[in-house]
């Protein structure tokens, strides 16, 4: 189970990406910043709850279906029950240099 480490539910937090499912945009080991209060929409990069804890994917909304899509095509889509499974919106990926920082909102 995921433990937020004492952070307020509305406070942004950072996670390290593990694996290659979100490459090429998000490489293994990169840090992403998540805003639990961010406004999530179709094609947002999000962190959601699943059976393994948390999963980082792109959210695809098709009618009343919520699909978690990896950027790397060797991985399968995963469907979640609804927006209540979303932990937060990925808002940035800090770069090695300030000019390399990317914002996603």
pLDDT tens digits in sequence order for the chain, 105 residues long: 344 455 556 899 999 999 999 999 999 999 999 999 999 999 999 999 988 899 999 999 999 999 999 999 999 999 999 999 999 999 988 765 556 667 776
Domain extents for the chain?
A: 14-94
pTM: 0.83
Q: Is-contact 66 104, C-beta < 8 A?
A: no
Give the CATH architecture of domain 14-94. Ribbon (2.10)
Q: Is-contact 33 47, C-beta < 8 A?
A: no
Q: How far is CA 25 from CA 18, 47, 50, 54, 58, in A?
A: 13, 15, 22, 19, 11
């Amino acid at each position: 189970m995921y433990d937020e480490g004492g952070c307020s539910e509305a406070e942004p937090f950072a996670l390290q990406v593990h694996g290659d499912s979100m490459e090429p945009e998000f490489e293994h080991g990169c840090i992403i910043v998540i805003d639990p209060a961010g406004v999530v929409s179709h094609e947002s990069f999000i962190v959601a709850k699943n059976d393994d804890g948390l999963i980082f994917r792109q959210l695809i909304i098709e009618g009343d279906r919520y699909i978690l899509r990896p950027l790397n095509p060797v991985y399968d889509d995963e469907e979640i029950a609804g927006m209540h499974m979303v932990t937060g919106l990925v808002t940035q990926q800090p770069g090695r240099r300030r000019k390399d920082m990317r914002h996603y909102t």
